Amino acid sequence: MAFAFGLVFIGVMLYIALKVPNPTDSQWFTFRVILALAVGGVGAVLPGALDVTVAPSIRAGGALALVVLVFWFNPPKLVAGKDQGKDQPKPDDPRPQGTEDAETLDCKQRSSIRSQDGGDKTLVTFENKTSAPVSIYWINTDGGEQFYAQIVAGGRLPQETFVGHAWLVKDQSNNCLAVFRSVWRDSIAVIQ
């Protein structure tokens, strides 16, 4: 029974992948969970023992080991960076291949914005299109601001971060210019 459900879920995932060429972050997460469970269902009927340790505190065996492996190594993210047609930049698009715009949040909502824990590693590249230097702050999970860098006018700053982390951009007068949230794929945060 688990094997049949696993095969059905894998088939459904393939169908959805063809129908949703540019899924949102929450859709990617859902695909990841369903794929992990489907592989576990298929693995439940395969003979042999599998024992896996992916971190000092994460160990699993058998079908559960397959679930952990698929969820931990995130196959949707592994294939997302490959050529996908619609994700190709247009000739006049200055963004590197495989990037998208960071999520832009409203400065007026700054007091309620927090970084979210638990996301995968990603990269956000800040591009300062203003005529003056700007300061970049990471907004922690409690809403506090931690200074990270200053970007000169016309400059760029690639910043390693995690999906769901929030970043605040301030001008020289300490005014909010923009708030960005890092997304599932490497992203560009344009400051204007």
pLDDT at 92 over 60: no
Same structural domain for residues 70 and 116?
no
Classify residue 36 by its DSSP letter: H
- Domain range for 183: 100-191
Which phi and psi (to 5°) does residue 29 adopt? -65, -45
Query: Is 23 part of any domain?
Result: yes
- Spatial neighbors of 116 by CB under 8 A, at least 6 apart, are 141, 163, 164, 165, 166
Q: Which SS3 state, helix, strand or coil, does residue 129 take?
A: coil
What pLDDT shows up at residue 111?
92
Same structural domain for residues 46 and 105?
no
| Cα–Cα nearest to 117, from 148, 141, 81 | 141
Classify residue 165 by its DSSP letter: -
Predicted TM-score (pTM) above 0.75: no
Contact 157, 172 (CB under 8 A): no
CA pair distance 98, 153, nearest whole angstrom: 25
CATH of the domain at 153: 2.60.40.780
What is the total residue count of the chain? 192
For residue 14, the surrounding DSSP H or E stretch is helix 2-19
What pLDDT shows up at residue 59?
65
What pLDDT shows up at residue 56?
63
pLDDT at 55 over 70: no
Query: Is 87 part of any domain?
Result: no
What pLDDT shows up at residue 137?
96
Q: How many domains does the chain have?
A: 2
Same structural domain for residues 56 and 132?
no
The mean pLDDT value for 111-133 works out to 90
Q: Of 39-43, 44-48, 123-127, which range is least confident?
A: 44-48
Query: Is 63 part of any domain?
Result: yes
